[in-house]
Chain A
Amino acid sequence: MLGRVEKKYGVVVVGGGPAGMGAALGARDHGEDKVLILDREPEAGGILLQCIHSGFGMHYFREELTGPEYAERFLQKVIDHDVDVLPGSYVSGVVVDSGGSKKVRIMSEAHGLITVETKSVVLAMGCRERTRGAVRIPGTRPSGILTAGLAQKFVNLKGYLPGKRIAILGSGDIGLIMARRLTLEGCHVEGVFELMPYSNGLTRNVVQCLEDFDIPLYLSTTVACIHGRDRIEKITVAPVNADLKPDMSRAWDVPCDTLLISVGLIPENELTQNLGIGLDVVTGGPLVSSTLETSMPGMFACGNVLHVHDLVDYVTREALLAGRFAGEWAKGVRRPKDNIRLVPGDNVRYCVPHTLSPEREHTIHLRCKAAMKPCKIKVGNLMEKKLRFVFPAEMIMFKIKPDLLDKFHDDTLRIDILPLEKGERVD
């Protein structure tokens, strides 16, 4: 029920976005009756509420939905499953006692300071955007510089326009979508500037958000300086050399009153860190076993807090799984510990989960370092999978069957992405 909170739960989910709602549903579907979702915003739904464009739900709902539609349908499902949802509540900490039971400390708008006891916790706090500080742009510090997702929140939820003449640094999907969004709202977008020689967003978004509206995309170009005293007045942009340093001899000025920054996302793990849970330095998320359990027993993680996903449908799938294991844990099921460690090899940036167990089928998520086409994924000596292409912006997923792992007697399994050898072909 919306707004209800009791003293004891089986599973408490931190975060009411797609990951949190999916985890609650997963726990509920596997027999855990007492599930609570906590969210700091005035309503659950997370980032979906401000993503008003369509393209969500093709896998899970089998139709193309907008973000708010996906959120509302999912929230309805969660409430129909008798999950308690408490928006306007902030988790300030989790205390774990020696018996393994957990006390979640909550600051709630409606209930004040409360503590809820639970057997397992699912971390589903999502991620946040990298800011100007993360990319170190020289120049003054005027107003009018904000991340693309914040601008999205202003425009789509609050009804404020951040400015009239917009420049966008970074060609991530949020930046591209905001270029179109602001054009529809009557702003002029001066251009999108991308450091790398390729766009970081989907081709679909480059075509439908930029080309359709004649917004220029400058590849291998970056913002070299910000000008303006109180409000941003112009930026200096410059093409970059092979070492990604701006070449100031070819620089030019772009007048603008707003600079949007869309340069990547970081999992939001302050709560995780305070608990002393082990993090993966590459993903920025916690280290997890094949049951999506963190280094602290009974604490699970899923969604963008674990690693940044491409699609909400993938988040939902992962969350349902994490919820299932959290629910099992709450009911006292203890699975044998994983005994195989996954190690990223050639051209693999990271893989999640970090360990495997031979007792189940696993879905491995990984990201490559560099684009390659065609190529093959090699999992130790167990299996090979040929692919037409891999791109850093596109998550790679594949399954490992338990019978394969049964034959494996080592403790580390290395994953490589390699070019095809002579005579090999992709079917």
Chain B
Amino acid sequence: MMIHCVSIFFRLKRERGLIEIKQYICIGCPVGCPLQLEHEKGQIKEVSGYECNRGAKYARQEFTDPRRSMSTTVPVSGALRQRLPVKVSGAIHKDRILEAARNIHELQVTAPVEMGQVLIKDFLGEKGIDVVACRSMKRVADTMTTFRTKKLGRNKTGKPKK
């Protein structure tokens, strides 16, 4: 009886437009359950449409604080490649991704770089979230010299061997 009353009350609210519905597609697995999240002024009332608990959790997370991991590349000079892959070490709010990309793209990096090297600390003012290099890059000039020394029989200063 109690439950019945609640559901009538709920339906009335929905009809008056007090309850809003947000639609999501669950990303937990390839089934991609269509999720509905009902909320009243930001207060989550009900999540439906999921086949497993991952769906419920995902919809709540997406509604309260949708976060994404992010990676891009920055120009690097003096290396074998022209671009250095970088990532943001923690997930950032999804609305800040384009802003983040613009900020990171201003970077100019010179080889050598080590994997995990911090390029921007406390990115976008978020403590503990950094922009880090995803790989090491040697200076090409260095590797080229050793290669040439070997081939031409020269020592490191570039003078011919006696």
Contact = CB atoms under 8 A, between A and B. Distances in A.
A156 B69 CA distance: 17
A398 interface: no
13 contacts: A52-B134, A54-B71, A66-B85, A66-B87, A72-B136, A156-B83, A157-B81, A181-B72, A203-B32, A204-B27, A389-B29, A389-B30, A394-B30
Contacts of A388: 31, 51
B19 interface: no
B81 A52 contact: no
Interface string B23-35: 0011101111000
A351 B51 CA distance: 29
B44 interface: no
A17 to B, nearest CB: 15
Nearest to A392: B30
B148 interface: no
B13 interface: no
Contacts of B101: 184-185
Interface of B: 25-27, 29-32, 51, 68-69, 71-73, 75, 80-83, 85, 87, 94, 97-98, 101, 105, 115, 134-136, 147
Interface string A64-86: 10111101100000000000000
B87 to A, nearest CB: 6
Given A159-B75, A207-B27, A391-B30, 4 more contacts: A68-B115, A156-B73, A202-B30, A203-B25
Contact of A157 (B31, B82, B105): B82
A277 interface: no
Interface string A49-65: 10011100000000010
B134 A68 contact: yes
B27 A68 contact: no
B135 A208 contact: no
A155 B68 contact: no
B31 A373 contact: yes
A422 interface: no
Contacts of B134: 52, 66-69
Contacts of A207: 25, 27
A203 B30 contact: yes
A64 B69 CA distance: 10
B31 A212 contact: no
A389 B72 contact: no
Contacts of B51: 388
Interface in A368-391: 373, 388-389, 391
B73 to A, nearest CB: 5
A184 B105 CA distance: 10
Given A64-B69, A155-B73, A208 B30 contact: no
A373 B71 CA distance: 35
A71 to B, nearest CB: 7
A67 to B, nearest CB: 8
Contact of A158 (B30, B71, B82, B136): B82
B94 A212 contact: yes
B132 to A, nearest CB: 10
Nearest to A65: B134
Contacts of A69: 115, 134-135
